[in-house]
Amino acid sequence: MESKRTHFKMYKIGRRWAFDCAVILTLGSTAVAAQADETTSSTASTTSSVVDQASDQSSSDVSSSGSKAASQDEQQSNDQGTETTGAKKTTVKANAQGSETDTEQSHDSAADASSNESSVNEHSTKENSASQNSAKGSNTTGDEAKAQSTTQGEPVKSSSKPTTKAAKVAAMTTQLATPKSENSAVKDGGNVEDDYPDLHNLLGISSQFHIFAREAELNAHTNGNVAVETLIGNVNFGTNITEELLDKDISYIQNITNIANSSFVSKGNKRVNKVIFGKDIEIDVSNPNRPKVNGEYIDHLLAEEVYQDKNGNVYIDFDKEFAKLEKLSGSLSAINPHVNYNNSDFEDMNNRVIDVTDLEPDEDGHIIINLSADVLANSTPLTIKGLSADKDGHTVIINVDTEGNQDYHVNSQIKVIYDDGTERNNKETEDFGDNHLLWNFYDSTASDKLATGTISVDRPFQGSVLAPKAEIVANQNLDGNIIADKVVVNAETHRWDLQDNVDNKKDPDDFDKPVHPSIDVEMPNIEEPEGPEEPGEPEEPEGPEEPGEPEEPEVPEVPTAPVDVEEPDEETDGNTDEVIDEIEEEVEEELEAGNVTEDTVDELEDLFDLIEEEAVSDQIEDESNLLTLIDEAIKVAQAQHNTALVKQLTTLRAKVATALAQAKGQQLPQTGEATTQWLTLAGFGLASSLAVAAYGLRRHRVTE
Q: Is residue 316 part of a domain?
A: no
Same domain, 524 and 588: yes
* pLDDT of res. 596: 84
Q: What is the predicted pLDDT for the residue at 615?
A: 74
Model confidence at 47, in pLDDT bands (50, 70, 90)?
very low
When pLDDT is averaged across residues 551-565 and rounded to a whole number, the result is 47
Residues recorded for the chain: 704
Which is more confidently placed, 567 or 374? Answer: 374
Does 61 map to a domain? Answer: yes
Same domain? 536 vs 661? yes
Residue 331's nearest CA partner among 494, 448, 194 is: 448
Residue 262 CA from chain centroid, whole number: 19
The Cα–Cα gap between 337 and 335 comes to: 6
Give the residue with greater pLDDT, 276 vs 131. Answer: 276
* Stronger pLDDT, 620 or 119, i.e. the higher one: 620
**H-helix or E-strand containing 251?**
strand 248-258
What would the pLDDT profile of 72-93 be if each residue is shown by its tens digit? 444 444 444 444 344 344 333 4
Mean pLDDT for the stretch of residues 354-363? 95
Verify that 611 and 562 share a domain, yes or no: yes
Encode pLDDT of 386-404 as tens digits: 999 998 999 999 999 999 9
Cα–Cα separations (whole angstroms), residue 254 to 232, 307, 321, 369, 399: 11, 11, 14, 36, 31
Residue 1, pLDDT above cutoff 50? no
Please tell me whether residues 497 and 514 are part of one structural domain. no
Could you tell me the strand order of the sheet in which 414-418 lies?
352-355, 382-387, 414-418, 423-424
In the predicted structure, residue 370 carries a pLDDT above the cut 60: yes
Task: Determine how many CB atoms are found less than 10 A away from the CB of residue 638.
Answer: 19
Three-state SS letters, 346-411:
CCCCCCEEEECCCCCCCCCCEEEEEECHHHHHCCCCEEEEEECCCCCCCEEEEEEECCCCCEEEEC
CB 197 within 8 A of CB 212: no
| The predicted structure's pLDDT at residue 118 | 41
Q: Is 135 part of any domain?
A: yes
Asked, for residue 315, whether it belongs to a domain, the answer is no
Both 303 and 329 in a single domain?
Answer: no
List Cα–Cα distances, 625 to 134, 434, 618, in angstroms: 107, 25, 11
For position 236, what pLDDT does the model report?
A: 96
512: nearest Cα among 662, 635, 673:
662
Distance CA 442, CA 445 (A): 9
Kind of pairing, strands 493-494 and 478-479?
Answer: parallel
* Residue 11 included in any domain: yes
Is residue 200 in some structural domain? yes
Last residue in a domain, options 273, 308, 343: 308
Of 686, 671, 584, nearest to 626 by C-alpha is: 584
Q: Report the C-alpha gap between 501 and 490 in whole angstroms.
A: 32
Q: Which domain holds residue 235?
A: 187-308
Residues 660 and 559 in one domain: yes
d(CA 465, CA 225): 15
Which CB contacts under 8 angstroms, 24+ apart, belong to 277-280? 277/189, 277/253, 277/306, 277/307, 277/308, 277/309, 278/253, 278/254, 278/308, 278/309, 278/314, 279/180, 279/182, 279/308, 279/309, 279/310, 280/180, 280/255
Neighbours of 665 (CB within 10 A): 15
Domains of the chain: total: 4
Q: Which of 256, 273, 308 is where one domain is finished?
A: 308
Residue with the bigger pLDDT between 192 and 71: it is 192
Alpha helices per DSSP H over 515-613? 519-527, 557-592, 598-612
Contacting residues for 580 by C-beta, under 8 A, at least 6 apart: 607, 610, 611, 622
For the stretch 501-555, pLDDT in tens is 655 444 444 334 343 333 344 444 444 445 444 444 444 445 454 554 555 555 4
Instruction: Give the strands of the sheet with 296-297, arranged side by side.
Output: 283-284, 292-293, 296-297
**426 shares a domain with 350:** yes
Domain boundary among 123, 154, 177: 177
Residues with Cβ within 8 Å of 631's Cβ and at least 6 positions away in sequence, in order, are 653
Q: Which amino acid is at 703?
A: T
Is the distance from CB of 126 to CB of 156 less than 8 angstroms? Answer: yes
Dist. CA 389–CA 665, nearest whole Å:
32
Task: Indicate if the pLDDT at residue 67 is higher than 70.
Answer: no
Residue 188 φ/ψ, nearest 5 degrees: -70, 130
Percent above pLDDT 70 for the chain? 58
Same domain, 423 and 452: yes
Tell me the per-residue pLDDT of 267-300, one tens digit each, with 9 for 90 and over.
Answer: 999 999 999 999 999 999 999 999 999 999 999 9
| 122 or 591, greater pLDDT | 591
Do residues 52 and 72 share a domain?
A: yes
Task: Examine the domain organization and report whether 609 and 667 are in the same domain.
Answer: yes
Mean pLDDT in the chain?
74
| pLDDT of 71 | 44
Within a domain: residue 474? yes
> Which residues lie below 8 Å from residue 424, measured CB to CB, with a gap of 6+?
416, 417, 418, 434, 462
pLDDT at residue 414, rounded to an integer: 98
Helices (H) and strands (E) in the chain, counts: 15, 25
The set of residues, in sequence order, having a beta carbon less than 8 Å from that of 100 and lying 6+ positions away, is: 63, 66, 67, 69, 70, 131
Say which residue, 530 or 246, is predicted with more confidence: 246
Q: What is the reported pLDDT for 570? A: 45
The per-residue pLDDT for 689 is 54
Task: Kindly state whether residue 464 falls inside one of the protein's structural domains.
Answer: yes
- Res. 574 pLDDT band, cuts 50 70 90: low
Q: Within this chain, do residues 544 and 410 fall inside the same structural domain, yes or no?
A: no
- DSSP SS3 for 249: strand
Instruction: Tell me which residue of 237, 196, 204, 195 sits closest to 219, measured CA to CA.
Output: 237
459 & 445 share domain: yes
The pLDDT value given to residue 171: 53
pTM greater than 0.85:
no
Q: What is the mean pLDDT of residues 636-665?
A: 82
User: Each residue of 453-492: pLDDT tens digit?
Assistant: 999 999 999 999 999 999 999 999 999 999 999 999 999 9
Listing DSSP states for 265-297 in one string gives ----SS-EEEEEE-TTS-EE-SSTTS-EETTEE
Q: How many Å apart are CA 618 and CA 612, to the nearest integer?
A: 9
- What is the distance of C-alpha 328 from the center of its chain? 20
